[in-house]
Structure formats: C-alpha cells, structure tokens
Amino acid sequence: MDNKKLIAGFGYQEGRISSWDGKRTYTQAAPQMAKHCCDNGADEILIYDWSVTDDDHEAAIAVIKEVCREADAPVIAGGRVKRMEDVKKYLYAGASAVFLDMSKEENVDMIKEASDRFGKEKIYAYLPTDAYLDHVKDYKAAGASVMLLNTAGSVPSLLEMASISDSEAPFLFFLQAKDDAKDTAESLKNAFGCGNICGAVLTFTEDAMDTSMTIKQSLKAAGISVDTFESSVDWKDFKLNSDGLIPVIVQDYKTNEVLMLAYMNEEAFNNTLATGRMTYFSRSRQAQWVKGETSGHFQYVKSLKIDCDNDTLLATVKQIGAACHTGNRSCFYTTLAEKEYKETNPLKVFEDVFNVILDRKKHPKEGSYTNYLFDKGIDKILKKVGEEATEIVIAAKNPDPEEVKYEISDFLYHMMVLMAEKGVTWEEITEELANR
C-alpha cells in the first residue's frame, strides 16, 4: 500500500505569501515556511501561483526557485499556465510536477503536449470544483498523472469520494488544517480510506506548521499508511552500556561532518522516531532532552543506522545552527594532533577551489589570473569556458587520458569563475542534479 502524503500548500500573489486559497496571509517568507514544514514531516510542498501580470509571474517563479532550493522535499507548482513556456518555467525553477487548471480550455488541450514533452509524472490536472469529476478519465487519457480536487478546504463528500473511486486516477484534495493535529488527523481518516486518494494539500496556520509528524502518528495509529520513521531493529536487540543507554554519533547529512556524540534510552529513541527530531538522554541531568528545544538548534532526522555489533547508532541529521553548546558547528573543533594530507574528497576540493575564487572576487590580488578574468568581464569568461570545452573535445581524441584530465581540470576552473560571476553555488548545482 502506498503511503498517503501530507502536502503543505501555499499561494503567491503580488509579493504576498498566503494559503493556497489566498484566504490567509503569512508573515514569514515562503522558503523559510516550506523548509520548516518539510523539516517537521511534510512530504511535499505545493505553491499556487495566483499572479496576474507577467512581472508578478516572474516574481512567483523566483519564489518557487527559492523554495525548491530550501525545501528537502518535492515541490508542486502551477496556477498561471497560459502557454507551454510557463510549464517549462515551473519545472526549470525546480518543481517536480506542474498542475494545469482545467477550467481554462487551453490548459485541457495543453495536457497532452506537456505530458509528451516533460513526462506524464510531471503533469497534474487541477479541478476547481467537483463538476470537473465527470471529465477525469479524459484528463488521465490526455496525460495527467494526478488530479488535484478543490473541495473548498473541506473533506470530500461521500458523493465526491464515490466519483473518485470510479475514476481510476490518483487524487489529492485540499484541506484547511486545524491547529489541533489530532483534529486534522480525524478529518483525514475517512477520506484516506478511499484508495484513489493519495494525499491531502493542507493549509496550516503559522503556529501549526510543525504538526505533520503528529498528524502522521495519529493516522498511523488508525492503520493508515504514512511516511514515518520505523526502526528495522527492535530496541530489545540493541546492546546497551551499563546505564541502559546506547551512544549516538551524529553527522551532517550533506557534508558527513561529525557534529557530536550523545546517548539515548528507549524513551528518547522512540520519541526520535515519532517526532523526527533528535531526542537524547542527559546523563548529567538524568532526563530526556530534545536537541534545540531551548536554543532552536534542532536536529531533524535524515537517517538512523546501527553498527555491526548493535551497540552504537549513527544519525545523519539536518542541523539547524550550531551542534555544540559553545556555539561551534561541531563539538569536535579542538585538534589534538594532525598530519598534513592532500584533500581528495571531490566536493570538498570543488568547494575549496570555489571559495578561493570567491575570495579573489571579494579581495582582488595583484597579478591574479582569476582577477584578470573578473576585470575583463563576462564575455572574456565565456570565451575561456568555450575554449576550454573545445580543448576537452580535442584531448579526448588522444588515446592518452592524462591530457583529458588536464583539460577537464582547466575547464572546471573556468566554469567555477563563471559560477562566481553569475552567483551560482556548488550546492545549487548538486541540488539541481539531485532533482533530476
């Protein structure tokens, strides 16, 4: 059985971030809210672009791009699609899928072209009322992979659910979430009993954007399949120390940097699984503690692993702020002994070289070739990138791979100068590749 999805829904119009239906305006920026929702259990993000003018549409695209950069979850976007170019803009901004409004006749005709060009899995059909349920099979045949049904923020009626069941298409519906997570879960239970409903787009208040995991735990208790953390090894099979605790090594999920070491008892372990936030047992206070509860420096779980002896856990986390109480990113900031060595971690090398280039841009150095390129401007940089790309092609015709390595290194350097000139980072590049 596929997991039911909880999707945090937002809207954008004229610089304002609102609920997907435009009825509630938020004070925070969309990227921060989306990131907060994802960190706390939302499976995906949906952004409804309510823009009217072309300029506002471009501003909405920029917001969607920021959200895709910040959120560790797929983003669904749509709303203002007038031509195929708009679908492409949403997807190029980083959206995993685009929805087309079926109340606009040109969008109905566009489904097939869009799905043929970008793939069915990336094209959704938005149904503004239940009157469009009669045409779902046509939308599906044209290439829409998922239907988004606007039920005015409430649970689908029995009649609507009957139509959904007959449609043979997966559905998402829109729901106004309640501040009490358990009340929201109660509203979802009946609808999620309909096999064709694969999830709900929820409007949260700003105070309730961290409730997705709580909602999921209530749904899970009711036998509904949702994406939660489940341990493949029972606590009773862990090998604990003399205090009944297990040590946990904590790493940053992107860089693999070791951040800290702490301990868990069974209660802390179970609460970590239930909330998605790292929870430990303090040996000095003899009490359970949620990392970041007082500082705001939460650790959101990405994975939990156990070693071959079942006596040590390894947690990869998304660290907010500093892991160490001293304010350092990692607790392991004091070097006791060290031997010089050449760094060969590819991403680390790229980051180090890129940081030198950025430093040259910010603090010019006389005689620096990098500063020469920046001084000459974008045309010179592009000329060098083109030349180095050509050198790779020529070198590749030579059977000696050493020449290819040299030319690729030259190309990567000039490409990084271009990245610095255009304000593009390695993190953005790797995230774009991951999205693909």
Task: Give a yes or no: residue 324 inside a domain.
Answer: no
DSSP for 64-79 reads HHHHHHH-SS-EEEES
Task: Give a yes or no: residue 274 inside a domain.
Answer: yes
pLDDT value at residue 401 = 82
Q: Cα–chain-centroid distance for residue 59?
A: 20
pLDDT value at residue 338 = 83
Six token digits for residue 248: 């946990």
- Residue 190 sits in the same domain as residue 252: no
- Residue 257 sits in the same domain as residue 179: no
DSSP for 160-200 reads HHHHHHHHTS-EEEEEE--SSHHHHHHHHHHHHTSTTEEEE
- Residue 247 sits in the same domain as residue 301: yes
Torsion (CA) 84, 90, 94, 97 in degrees, nearest 10: -80
pLDDT tens digit sequence for 39-95:
999 999 999 999 999 999 999 999 999 999 888 899 999 999 999 999 999 999 999
- Residue 171 sits in the same domain as residue 300: no
Share of the chain above pLDDT 70, in %: 98
pLDDT value at residue 399 = 81
pLDDT band at 357 (very low <50, low <70, confident <90, very high): very high
pLDDT value at residue 396 = 93
pLDDT value at residue 126 = 97
Residue 183 and residue 166: Cα distance in Å, rounded? 28
| Position with higher pLDDT, 12 vs 345 | 12
Q: Is a pLDDT exceeding 70 seen at residue 435?
A: no
Task: Among 19-28, 114-123, 127-136, 265-274, name the one with the lowest average pLDDT.
Answer: 19-28
- Residue 296 sits in the same domain as residue 383: no
- Residue 68 sits in the same domain as residue 208: yes
- Residue 217 sits in the same domain as residue 252: no
Q: The domain spanning residue 262 has which CATH number?
A: 3.10.20.810
Task: Among 208-212, 218-222, 347-351, name the one with the lowest average pLDDT.
Answer: 347-351
Task: Give a yes or no: residue 174 inside a domain.
Answer: yes
Q: Is a pLDDT exceeding 90 seen at residue 272?
A: yes
- Residue 164 sits in the same domain as residue 243: no
Task: Give a yes or no: residue 336 inside a domain.
Answer: no
pLDDT value at residue 43 = 97
In the numeric block, the tokens 């208790």 are attached to 221
pLDDT value at residue 436 = 65
Task: Give a yes or no: residue 179 inside a domain.
Answer: yes
Task: Give a yes or no: residue 335 inside a domain.
Answer: no
Residue 106 and residue 86: Cα distance in Å, rounded? 13
DSSP for 359-423 reads HHHHS--TT-HHHHHHHH-HHHHHHHHHHHHHHHHHHHTSS-HHHHHHHHHHHHHHHHHHHHHHT
Task: Among 52-61, 212-221, 355-364, 424-433, name the one with the lowest average pLDDT.
Answer: 424-433
Secondary structure letter of residue 4 according to DSSP: B
In the numeric block, the tokens 């179970």 are attached to 270
Q: The domain spanning residue 146 has which CATH number?
A: 3.20.20.70
pLDDT band at 398 (very low <50, low <70, confident <90, very high): confident
pLDDT band at 346 (very low <50, low <70, confident <90, very high): confident
pLDDT value at residue 427 = 82
Q: Is a pLDDT exceeding 70 seen at residue 410?
A: yes
pLDDT band at 430 (very low <50, low <70, confident <90, very high): confident
- Residues 6 or more apart in contact with residue 409 via CB below 8 angstroms: none
- Residue 85 sits in the same domain as residue 193: yes
Instruction: Give me the domain span that covers residue 86.
Output: 5-221
Task: Give a yes or no: residue 41 inside a domain.
Answer: yes
Mean pLDDT of 293-312: 96
pLDDT band at 342 (very low <50, low <70, confident <90, very high): low
pLDDT value at residue 428 = 82
- Residue 15 sits in the same domain as residue 91: yes
CA dist 178 → 33, 144, 201, 238, 275 (Å): 17, 30, 13, 39, 19
Average pLDDT over the chain reads 93
Task: Give a yes or no: residue 230 inside a domain.
Answer: no
Q: Which of 170, 197, 221 is the last residue of a domain?
A: 221
Tell me which amino acid residue 248 is: V
Q: Is a pLDDT exceeding 80 seen at residue 1?
A: no
Q: The domain spanning residue 425 has which CATH number?
A: 1.10.287.1080
Mean pLDDT of 241-267: 96
Least Cα distance to 30 among 40, 42, 45, 43 occurs for: 45
- Residue 101 sits in the same domain as residue 244: no
- Residue 356 sits in the same domain as residue 267: no
Buried b (16+ CB within 10 A) or exposed e, 411-435: bebbbbbbbbbeeeeeeeeebeeee
In the numeric block, the tokens 């649970």 are attached to 155
Q: Which of 155, 190, 221 is the last residue of a domain?
A: 221
Domain count for the chain:
3
pLDDT tens digit sequence for 152-193:
889 999 999 999 999 889 999 999 999 999 999 999 998 999
pLDDT value at residue 118 = 95
pLDDT value at residue 348 = 80
pLDDT value at residue 372 = 95
